[in-house]
Every structure is written in C-alpha cells, then in structure tokens.
C-alpha cells in the first residue's frame, strides 16, 4: 500500500483514536499535510467522549497549527483512514464511510480492510508515516514542525526512546532534524499535578518477591510515561533486580518492565508477559508493552484490579520457575542419548569490507537485532545468515565452512541492514555489496527437542543470553559435546536433517 494509491478519492477524512496521544496527532498530521499538498479536500478528526486537554498536546497543536478537530458526527466520506488505530476498535469512535483504510503500528485486533499497512513491531505510528512519506519522495526534514512532531510521537510512544526496538525507529531518531527547544518544552509539560500524586500512591502500594528479586506495582490510570518513571525508581531498590509496573486502562493494560540483571532481558520479559494477548518489547534493561482487554476477556480473566494483579503475579512466577539457565562455560550435561543430525548445506550471503572501502575504520551496522559497532579489517567478511542476521567471520574460518557462489544474492529479512561510518555518518546498504556463498555442512550434532524454556549464555558473550522456547532445539556437536547452542524450531527444520 502507498499513500499515492489514495489520490483518486474526491475527499478524505483521517481519524485517530479517541483520547489522542502525541503519536496519533503527529502521524495523522503527517498524512493530512500530504493530501493537502496534493489538493485533496482533507480533514483530521477524532471522536470519543472527551475533548483533548493534556497540556503537552495542546502546546504542540497550537504551536504548529495542527488542524485536528473533535467531532461526534460525520457524514460518510468517500475514504476514511484510521491512523495509530484500527477501524472498529473500542477506542475508535465508529463513523460510517464508503471506503476504509488503516495505517497503524498496534497488534492486529480486527479484521482489516484490504487497504491497510499495520506494522506491529514499530515503536510508533509516526515511524510508519515517516516511512510512507519517504516512499512518496517526501523528506519530512523539509518541514521542521512536522519533523519535530513525528520525533515527539516516537519519543512519547517509546518512553523517551527507552523502549525502542525496531531499526526503522532508530533511523527516525537519528535522521530527523528537530527543534530541540520545542521537544524540551513538550517534555516538561507532560505530567499533571494529579499524575504526580498517582505516582506517589502507586509507590506506597509496591510489592517485592524475594525468591526471584522482582517487584510489582499497579498504578491508577495515568500517562504511560509515569509507568516508566516509577519502574526506573523501583529498580534502584537494592532487593529488586527486575520489576513490572502496570496500569489498567479502559481498553487494556499498559505495562513497563525494567531489569538490571543479565538473567532477565527486559525486552524478552515484556514479550513473555504479552505473548498472544498483546505486544511488548524494548531493550535489555527497559521495555514496555500493552495487553488487549479483549484478549484477557477471552482468557476468562476478570477486568478488575484483583484478577489482573493475580494474573501479573502468576505470569512473573511462571517466567522465573519455568526457565532453565545454562552457562555454556560450566555446562556438564550430556546430549548423546538424543538423535543425531547432519547440517545441510545452505545458501547465505557475505560482504567483503574491502569492496566497500571500509577496512580499518569504525562502523556501526544497523540490523533487525540491534546496532553492531565494529572495526572492519581486510581479513574478515560480514556474514548474512539465512534469516538476514548479521555477524562477522574471519576469512580463514569462512573458507573452511563455505564455498563461493556466482548466484546473485537476495536478502531474506525484513529490514535491510546498513553500515554507517562512525566518523562521517555516511550510510551504505550492505545488500548492494552482498554476494552468495554456500555452507558446506559436514557437521554432525546431537539435538534435543525442548519442552521447556532455556536461557543460554555462550562462552563468547557472558552478558547476553539466547532464548529457546518449547519446540526449539538444544544442540551439541558430537566432537565437542559441551559446546551446546540453541537452534530455533523453524531454522532447525531447514538447516538439519536426521543422520
Ligand atoms: Mn502510537
């Protein structure tokens, strides 16, 4: 779907969710400006029971003359685009329309109309609109007001960038040229005096669970940023190494997660709590998420403080008790009773840094899994795995396990990785320089299909674990049985065959 697909409609209404937040306003405004510039009659509206009043939002709207209108009735327009929300959701007042399109970054909760672009793993809808504008050749940096609004949308939807995880979100943060003084002004009129008191009350009711050193707090309905402020403070407590702070809102539960222990990755814990019932993610130490009310209803969990507290508490207990932790350096297990498999030969990609003129200098490689900071040398290749994951390899090691191939290379992943020169900031696409290679296999392993979760710390990175879920495999080479590693279920099926 492209924005230019909509240019044939005689008029368009853009609608964001009720009780709009900064992301809804910024992303809706981005779309509004696009259609206005194309001379299509366009309106930007929201409905619901309440008119906007939050001071940071009122400031942004008046500074930039954002023409957002509060409406309770609407004549069916030829095209209605819901932005930062999905048509038919509980927090989106339903207006009739001849045609409907959806542009959103939340979890898909409705049957979507054919015209939709929903990217559930983006941190904000502003990121998606920024990307859609760029696809039409529009650089948001030519309008500092819009650039600042989009940046602020992402900032507030990701708890001050703390809960940011997608590389496209990081691109927005790094590339938009914003008016810093405006951001500072909006940020510092974010809380009302009443919300400050909500934070205080929540702290009084905090609980800690000493077995696994985690904490739990419910706050009354408040701005999501307050959850971040509380969880940051909670983590500073000496007996708490991870915590979950949540707030029960009308249409779901907003959560904030923090961790300062390597055994709990906040990003992964937020994903665990929201799996199948919402969405969550972020960083190693800070993450956030949202659970849909509808999903809790479907699980038969009453929508009241007590049942939700019990649910959160049992989810946290289950998280700690159902997971085995393996430190490979101390591993003494034995996988030899399990079946033997051979590694198949696979097509992957590699890039020679010499071809890019990037040897001997510091670069940052932006990938789906995060930014990798590295100095490239002329004795290494950058490898692109079968799912598009990036890792360095020495040419020596490469030539033992791979052969070169003449086939043209096609990138398999969702986000094409880029290399940025740390000094000049120049950005280069890796895929433009990638060539094909084939792994030669010749490796036999024992593999155990797991029925529980494992966190595995490898020898070469003792700070970060790899996670295996039920259905994934714990694998050990037959000639080095203590060097265990994890292979995800889908990858195992395509890369190994029974020996
Ligand atoms: Mn949003």
What CATH number is associated with residue 107? 3.90.1640.10
State how many domains the chain has.
Answer: 4
- The reported pLDDT for the residue numbered 176 is 96
CA distance 339 to 447: 6
d(CA 470, CA 489): 9
- The CA 124 to ligand 1 mean position distance, Å, reads 5
Measuring CA to CA, which residue among 200, 204, 274 is closest to residue 244? 274
300 Ramachandran zone, left/alpha/beta (phi>0; psi -120 to 50): left
Give the mean model confidence (pLDDT) for residues 202-213.
Answer: 95
Residues that place a CB less than 5 A from ion ligand 1: 23, 84, 125, 157
Closest CA to 207 of 244, 236, 233: 244
Q: Whole-angstrom Cα distance, residue 133 to residue 427?
A: 20
334 and 292 within one domain = no
The pLDDT assigned to 390 comes to 87
Q: Are both 42 and 166 inside the same structural domain?
A: yes
From 187, 214, 232, give the residue that closes a domain.
187
Q: How far is the CA of 316 from the centre of ligand 1 (A)?
A: 26
- What is the distance in A from the centroid of ligand 1 to the CA of 278? 14
CA 39, chain centre distance (Å): 35
Integer angstrom CA distances of residue 139 from 43, 130, 142, 172: 22, 8, 6, 11
Structural domain span for residue 473: 326-342+442-498
Nearest Cα neighbor of 282 from 306, 252, 258, 314 is 258
Q: Of the candidates 439, 461, 478, which is a domain's last residue?
A: 439
- Specify whether 217 is located in the same domain as 245: yes
Q: What is the distance between the alpha carbons of residues 117 and 482, in angstroms, rounded to a whole number?
A: 46
By the 8 A CB rule, do 293 and 90 touch?
yes
pLDDT, greater one: 337 or 372? 337
- DSSP one-letter string for 57-123: HHHHHHHHT--EEE-S-----SEEEEESS-TT-TTS-----SSEEEEE-S---SPPPSEEEE-TTSS
pLDDT, position 34: 98
pLDDT for 324: 94
> What are the angstrom distances between the C-alpha of 392 and each of 376, 458, 487?
9, 16, 19
156 Cα–ligand 1 center, Å = 9
Are 428 and 356 members of one domain? Answer: yes
The last residue of a domain, from among 149, 169, 187: 187
334 CA to centre of ligand 1 in angstroms: 48
Residues 171, 156: Cα–Cα separation, whole Å: 16
Q: Could you tell me the distance, in angstroms and rounded to a whole number, from the CA of residue 257 to the centre of ligand 1? A: 18
Q: Are 147 and 13 within one domain?
A: yes
CATH number of the domain residue 299 falls in? 3.10.310.40
Report how far ligand 1's centroid is from the alpha carbon of 84 (Å): 5
* pLDDT, tens digit, 9 for 90 and up, residues 14-58: 999 988 999 999 999 999 999 999 999 999 999 988 888 888 999
């Amino acid at each position: 779907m492209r924005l230019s697909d909509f240019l044939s409609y005689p008029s368009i209404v853009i609608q964001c969710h009720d009780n709009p937040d900064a992301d809804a306003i910024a992303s809706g405004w981005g779309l509004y400006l696009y259609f206005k510039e194309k001379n299509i009659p366009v309106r930007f509206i929201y409905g619901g029971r309440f008119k906007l009043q939050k001071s940071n939002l009122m400031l942004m709207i008046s500074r930039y003359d954002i023409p957002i209108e509060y409406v309770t009735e609407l004549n069916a327009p030829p095209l209605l685009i819901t932005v930062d929300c999905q048509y038919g959701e509980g927090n989106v007042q339903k207006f009739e329309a001849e045609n409907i399109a959806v542009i959103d970054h939340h979890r898909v909760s409705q049957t979507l109309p054919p015209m939709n672009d929903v990217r559930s793993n983006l941190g904000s809808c502003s990121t998606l609109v920024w990307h859609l504008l760029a696809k039409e050749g529009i650089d948001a940096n030519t309008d500092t007001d819009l650039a600042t609004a989009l940046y602020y949308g992402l900032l507030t939807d990701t708890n001050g960038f703390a809960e940011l995880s997608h590389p496209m979100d990081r691109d927005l943060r790094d590339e938009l040229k914003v008016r810093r003084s405006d951001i500072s002004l909006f940020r510092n009129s974010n809380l009302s005096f009443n919300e400050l008191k909500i934070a205080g009350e929540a702290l009084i009711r905090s609980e800690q669970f000493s077995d696994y050193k985690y904490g739990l707090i419910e706050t009354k309905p408040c701005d999501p940023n307050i959850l971040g402020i509380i969880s940051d403070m909670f983590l500073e407590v000496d007996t708490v190494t991870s915590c979950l702070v949540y707030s029960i809102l009308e249409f779901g539960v907003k959560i904030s997660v923090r961790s300062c222990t390597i055994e709990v990755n906040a990003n992964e814990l937020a994903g665990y709590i929201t799996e199948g019932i919402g969405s969550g993610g972020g960083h190693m130490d800070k993450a956030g998420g949202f659970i849909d009310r509808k999903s809790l209803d479907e699980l038969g969990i009453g929508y009241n403080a007590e049942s939700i507290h019990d649910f959160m508490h049992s989810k946290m207990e289950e998280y700690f008790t159902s997971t085995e932790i393996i430190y490979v350096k101390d591993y003494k297990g034995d996988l030899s009773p399990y079946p033997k498999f051979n590694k198949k030969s696979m097509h992957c990609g590699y890039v020679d840094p010499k071809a890019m003129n990037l040897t001997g200098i510091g670069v940052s490689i932006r990938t789906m899994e995060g930014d990798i900071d590295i100095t490239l040398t002329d004795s290494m290749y950058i490898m692109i795995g079968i799912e598009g994951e990036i890792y360095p390899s020495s040419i020596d090691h490469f030539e033992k396990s791979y052969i070169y191939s003449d086939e043209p290379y096609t990138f398999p992943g969702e986000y094409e990785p880029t290399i940025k020169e740390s000094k000049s900031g120049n950005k280069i696409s890796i895929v433009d320089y990638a060539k094909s290679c084939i792994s030669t296999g010749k490796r036999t392993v024992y593999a155990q299909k797991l029925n529980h979760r494992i966190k595995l710390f490898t020898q070469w990175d003792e700070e970060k674990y790899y996670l295996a879920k039920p259905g994934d495999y714990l694998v050990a080479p037959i000639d080095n049985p203590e060097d265990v590693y994890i292979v995800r279920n889908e990858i195992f099926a395509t890369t190994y065959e029974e020996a």
